[in-house]
Amino acid sequence: MKLKNKTAIITGSSQGIGRGIAERFAQEGANVVVNYIGNMEMANEVVQNAQNIGANAIAVQGDVSKVADIENLFANAISSFGQVDILINNAGVERHAPFWEVTEKDYDFVMNVNTKGTFFCAQAMAKHLIETKRRGKIVNISSVHEDLPFPNFTAYCVSKGGIKMLTRNLAVELGQYGINVNNIAPGAIETPINKNLLNNPNKLNYLLGQIPLKRLGQPEDVAGLAVFLSSDEADYVTGSTFFVDGGLTWFYEEQ
Ligand SMILES: NC(=O)c1ccc[n+]([C@@H]2O[C@H](COP(=O)([O-])OP(=O)(O)OC[C@H]3O[C@@H](n4cnc5c(N)ncnc54)[C@H](O)[C@@H]3O)[C@@H](O)[C@H]2O)c1
């Protein structure tokens, strides 16, 4: 068990990649804090699954785009488990629109959840670790789109590019406190965020043609790397982005 006696907050973990990470962390012996924004039933299911295999787990409702909710999330985690050792900034959203049609509302929505949420969750984690004089790990679930352009998802790309710089900055600024900060950049993972793609066989086949490993990723593919980056084995790893994309980012082919 690689995370025994560690407490981990995983934002947006009632489904998708976050859920995969929460359930894997429970298998690795972590106390798991399942943050969710709306679906309490699914969050409770993740908690139940963790408890069924002997892990401690709680669900905490909260919108990561609101600093007051983030404070409440950390307060709940600390009152249940005494401390937080690992933060996985997973919550994320996207909106599809050509650049010239992006509304202020959609821009704010994407930036507030993805970038502001990641920023202030990381700040709450840093304050907690510095105050309690303990080391810790922050892992941000970014995207291949922190580097790779994605037409019609400009706000999403900007939000993930921001997370790339946030990670580099924090790695440098927080290193002196023993806080490691890294990004995981998933490619195309089979989760509800991709439901339009998954329901469109033509689009899906075209995409699969551009993935050297010839399949979509699964939440478990991301969870394995999240375990490593959150474990003592990654004590000298900070400030980097790790791609979990089946080779998608570097795909190039000529007919
Ligand atoms: N699936 C992919 O192909 C893929 C690729 C690259 C990056 N990602 C990133 O992975 C992360 C997880 O996405 P997913 O694929 O599991 O999609 P998902 O839609 O299944 O999961 C996103 C989760 O975030 C939660 N969430 C949204 N807004 C929130 C808020 N304000 N506060 C708290 N929680 C909130 C949702 O309720 C949901 O549980 C996201 O950051 C996403 O950008 C996903």
Q: How far apart are CA 176 and CA 180, in angstroms?
A: 10
β-pair type (86-89, 57-61): unpaired
Domain 7-248 has CATH 3.40.50.720: yes
162: Cβ contacts below 8 Å, ≥ 6 apart: 111, 114, 115
Residue nearest to ligand 1 atom 32, measured at CA: 63
Q: What is the mean pLDDT of the chain?
A: 98
**pLDDT tens digits, residue range 142-198?**
999 999 999 999 999 999 999 999 999 999 999 999 999 999 999 999 999 999 999
- pTM, whole model, 2 decimals? 0.99
Hey, what are 122's tokens?
């990381």
Neighbours of 109 (CB within 10 A): 16
Interval between CA 83 and ligand 1 midpoint (Å): 25
**pLDDT tens digits, residue range 4-30?**
999 999 999 999 999 999 999 999 999
Cα atoms in the 13 Å half-sphere on the side-chain side of 17: 31
Whether 58 and 47 have beta carbons less than 8 Å apart is answered as yes
Whether the pLDDT of residue 35 is over 90: the answer is: yes
Interval between CA 235 and ligand 1 midpoint (Å): 26
Whether 74 and 126 have beta carbons less than 8 Å apart is answered as no
Q: How far apart are CA 116 and CA 114, in angstroms?
A: 6
Residues designated catalytic: 156
Domain boundaries, the chain: 7-248
